[in-house]
Structure 1
Amino acid sequence: MGISSDSASHTHARANRKASHEQANRQRNLQPLFRQAVAQMDEFTQQNAALVEESAAAAGSLQEQAAAMVKSVSIFTLHQDAGGPATAAYAPDTRRVRSSAAFSDHGRPFKALPAR
C-alpha cells in the first residue's frame, strides 16, 4: 500500500465517522418526536376505548327501552275482522298558497315563470 492508498482509506474512514455522527444526531433529534407520537397514539387509544364503552352502554340502554316499549304496547290487541287498512287521520294541504312575497314593492304581482 502506498501513501495515496493510505490517504484514501483515511478519507473514507473520516467520511464514515462523519456520516455515523450525523446519523446519531438525526436519531437524537427524532427521539422527542417519536415519544410525542407514541403518547398521542396512546391518548387516542384510550379515547377510543372510552367511546366503545359509552357505545356499549347506550346499546344496552336502547335494548332495555325497546323491551319496555314492547311490554307497553303488548296490552293492545288487533281484531282480525277489523276491516281494511288504516287511513291517515291527517293529510297536509299540498295546494300552493299565494304568498305576499309574490308581489313587488308596488303591490303588483310578479310575472310567473313558465313551468318546467
Structure 2
Amino acid sequence: MSATDDARAVGAARAATGAGPDVPARIAVVRRLDRPAAYRLVALGRPGEPGWVAAVGEDGAVMSWAASATGEPTVPAGPGELCWWPSARTGSALYPVRRTGPGSFVGLDGRHVAGPEKG
C-alpha cells in the first residue's frame, strides 16, 4: 500500500460523498480477516465536525460510505491492528475492530468482540 493508493482512496471517497478537495481527509488501513485483503477507511471532514466516512477497497472501489453527523472517529482508540470481517459482531466495514492480542478484539465502545470462527 502506497501514497498513490492513499490518494486514489481519498479521491474515490470524495467522488462518492461529494466532498470537495478542501475537506481534510484521514486514512486508516483495515485488514480483512475473511480473505487476504485490506481496505482504507477514509474519514472526510474535521474531527468533531460533520463529515463522511468511506471504506475503499484495494481496487479503488468504494465498498460503503455514510455521512458522519458528529465527525467522531469510527475506529477504536489504542494500539493494535484495525481489522474487519463480515459478521453480525462487526456489522459495517465503516466500524472496524482493533486487534489487541491473539484472538482478542475490541470495538468502538471498548468492549471485547468475539473473533471470527475458524473452519
Structure ranking higher in strand proportion:
2
Shared fold (TM-score greater than 0.5)? no
Computing the radius of gyration over CA atoms, which structure comes out larger, 1 or 2?
1
TM-score (norm 2): 0.15
Of structures 1 and 2, the one scoring higher in RCO (CA 8 A, sep 6+) is 2
